[in-house]
A and B are shown apart, each in its own frame.
Chain A
Amino acid sequence: MEVVLQNLTKIFPSRNKNGSEVVAVNNFDFTIPDGKLIGLLGPSGCGKSTTLYMLSGLQKPTSGKIFFGSDDVTELTPENRGVGLVFQNYALYPHMTVKQNILFPLQNLKGEDKLSKEEMIKRAYDVAALVQIDDLMDRKPSELSGGQQQRVAIARALVKMPRILLLDEPLSNLDARLRLQTREEIKRIQRETLITTVFVTHDQEEAMSISDYIVVMKKGVVQQIGAPQDVYDSPINLFVAKFLGTPPINVFEGEVKDGALYIGEEKVLDTPNVENKKVFVGIRPEGFILDPNGPLSCNLNNIEVMGRDVSIVSSNTASVNPIVRSIVDADNKIAEGTEKVFFSIKPNKIFIFDHETEERIML
């Protein structure tokens, strides 16, 4: 099912009389291709959850339209949209067993959709097998681990065969190990069912690792949409560049002068097509190459060996952050007592942004 969001806007009225209204989502325009896994990504308060709730029908957009395929579902209530929603806290009914929880949505079906008891049970067990909880069917949610509860929640959302599956921060309540495992699981389930799936997260790593597409949002405005790697490799502005990637991108104050980019006094790159102006320079940690003749010099703080890689922590007066972190191959050796390190930069890992607008300046 293809999902089209057309100029979607959500404005919350102010809480008190004098306060101003809050624009949670502003003019969201996007088409979600059929059968893909989409990650809505952004810091808290960016409107990603609101977008999800509008997709589910729990919240009505202030303006704009939502289409499921060719159906305009903007005015439809959730039950008529055929969506499955997995809540951040799972919202499993505590007084029902796993089986009853999964059966619950099926028992709501009316009219021609109504299923016989046997069919319901069969479907419940099928979906339980899909998420691998078929041996837990008679337990109560309080008797399950976090990861198991998550699977039950997904099973409950999937059992009525939704046109779209929505997941709200699906991994935030899990510990680190489970998180890795579960995100693979979600990916697998989505691949198997081919249900168009939208999930919300503030964790960019999570989004990058499983999404077919990611949508980066900030303060209600969509910043960039694309395949994770594309967005990473080609951020549209400083915000997106900073938001994606661990360790985060290093940002320097820089200046374009006479066709060349300067960080401090050091000329790091030729930029023949850019006019003279102040800029921000972003360099991914993996974009540094240890090079005694390199243009960029930094004061070495310390070195963290991480097996395959070495993380060099240094400082530069032009850096916006107190430290500059670069990741280089472990083969690179730095002698004891070294005070200054020199880098050359991989051209595809350096981005410059307008100092005023923070928009990317293409080289």
Chain B
Amino acid sequence: MADINTMHQKDMAKVTSKQKFVTVLVQVLLYFFLIMVAITVIFPFYWMINSSLKTLDEYRWSVPTLWPTTVMWSNYATAFSTASLGKLFVNTLYVGIISTILSLVITVLTAFAFARLEFKGKNALFAGLLATMMIPGELFTITNYGTVTSLGWLNTFTVLIVPFLVSVFYIYLLRQNFLQIPNELYLAAKVDGTSDIKYLWKIMIPLALPTLISITILKMMGAWNSYIWPRLVTRGETHSLITNGLRNAFTESTGDVNIPVQMAAVALVSLPLFLVFLFLRKYIMKGVSRSGIKG
């Protein structure tokens, strides 16, 4: 090991300055790249806001303006009142909350069974569930419409909630999460005579909380964005959800859509979602990454 010393004999000053330069350069490039991507990401949103503040005429100008010549804040007021967003908000919130709670219960039970209990055909059943994720869901609509009609569920909140309570994706996420909790905890609970439900409630659920929170958020977002199904199975404001209001309310007499007002409504509707997202981002990230995603 005689060459230990020679190997690193370099001009230290030169190395230092070069390395400083590289560090700064890398930082600059890093920020440049990230900021460029950020601009690309943010531009459509800017455009949405920009459009939402234009008059219909200005929106149609062949050369789009980067900021409205006359700023139409009134578009927002119009959007809110014409689409009766208030009522639709309440509907959406109601459907979102109820379906989230029920969905969580079902998902937790199912994921628990798949993660902790041993029964015949477990793996085959799970594989079957996963396979259903690969089928384009659009095809289900027709048949499901028939089913809910014969159940007499049209124009109820039930029809907006029940058919989508089970999500294979959420079951999958949660099962992965449960699998990472050591089985010894379950066995210990069994030895102590703890019931399954108590074990679930006291141990599994607290440990899987981030995943449950992300499921909650995804589910609420689902309620917020669902469109085709509510349109099909509900009539009028009493049971309509927010997106339906968005699409329907802004058609002019000629069948044209008043896009600026619609954009204003889109912005309004996205806002709560965005705030919730900002607020709970930490949990979403934890939840999704925690699922571990191992085979």
Contacts and interface: CB of A to CB of B under 8 A. Distances in A.
B135 interface: no
B8 interface: yes
Interface in B1-25: 1, 3-5, 7-8, 10, 12, 15-16, 19-20, 23
A161 B4 CA distance: 6
A82 B19 contact: no
Contacts of A162: 4
A113 B8 CA distance: 9
Interface in B240-264: none
Contacts of B5: 1, 69, 163
Interface residues of B, number: 13
Nearest to A72: B12
A72 B3 CA distance: 20
A357 interface: no
A230 interface: no
A36 to B, nearest CB: 15
Contact of A80 (B1, B3, B19): B19
Contact of B1 (A69, A73, A113, A193): A193
Contacts of A81: 8
Contacts of A161: 1, 3-4, 7
A76 B12 contact: yes
Nearest to B12: A71
Nearest to A160: B7
Contacts of A72: 12
Interface in A147-178: 161-163
Nearest to A75: B16
Nearest to A82: B8
B184 to A, nearest CB: 19
Given A75-B20, A76-B19, A77-B23, A113 B12 contact: no
B293 to A, nearest CB: 16
- Identify which of B5, B12, B19 gathers the most chain A CB atoms within 10 Å of its CB: B12
Is the interface on chain A under 10, 10 to 19, 20 to 34, or 35 or more residues? 10 to 19
Interface string B48-62: 000000000000000
Contacts of B3: 161
Nearest to B10: A80
Interface in A62-90: 69, 71-73, 75-77, 80-82
A82 B7 contact: yes
Contact of B15 (A1, A76, A193): A76
Contacts, number: 35
A76 B1 contact: no
A76 B7 contact: no
Contacts of A186: none
Contact of A163 (B8, B12, B15): B8
A81 B15 CA distance: 10
A76 B3 CA distance: 21
Nearest to B15: A80
A57 to B, nearest CB: 10
B16 A195 contact: no
A58 B52 CA distance: 50
B15 A113 contact: no
Nearest to B16: A75
A1 to B, nearest CB: 7
A125 to B, nearest CB: 15
A278 B152 CA distance: 92
Interface string A111-137: 001000000000000000000000000
A130 to B, nearest CB: 10
Contacts of B16: 75-76
Contacts of B23: 77
Nearest to B11: A71
Nearest to B18: A80
A77 B15 CA distance: 10
A300 to B, nearest CB: 44
Contacts of A71: 12
Contacts of A163: 4-5, 8
Contacts of B20: 75
B72 to A, nearest CB: 41
B151 to A, nearest CB: 52
Nearest to A113: B7
A11 B5 CA distance: 32
A82 B5 CA distance: 10
B12 A73 contact: yes
- Identify which of A77, A193, A194, A195 gathers the most chain B CB atoms within 10 Å of its CB: A77
B294 to A, nearest CB: 13
Contacts of B19: 75-77, 80
A73 B15 CA distance: 10
A82 B15 CA distance: 13
A79 B1 CA distance: 19
Contacts of B7: 82, 113, 161
A294 to B, nearest CB: 54
A131 B20 CA distance: 36
A264 B12 CA distance: 62
Contacts of B4: 1, 161-163, 195
A75 B8 CA distance: 15
Contacts of A75: 16, 19-20
A194 B3 CA distance: 13
A163 B5 CA distance: 7
Interface of A: 1, 69, 71-73, 75-77, 80-82, 113, 161-163, 193-195
18 contacts: A69-B5, A72-B12, A75-B19, A76-B12, A76-B16, A76-B19, A77-B19, A77-B23, A80-B8, A80-B10, A81-B8, A82-B7, A161-B4, A162-B4, A163-B5, A193-B1, A195-B1, A195-B4
| Across the A-B interface, the 9 shortest Cβ-Cβ residue pairs | A82-B8, A75-B16, A71-B12, A161-B4, A80-B15, A77-B19, A161-B1, A163-B8, A76-B16
Given A82-B7, A113-B7, 5 more contacts: A69-B5, A71-B12, A80-B10, A81-B8, A162-B4
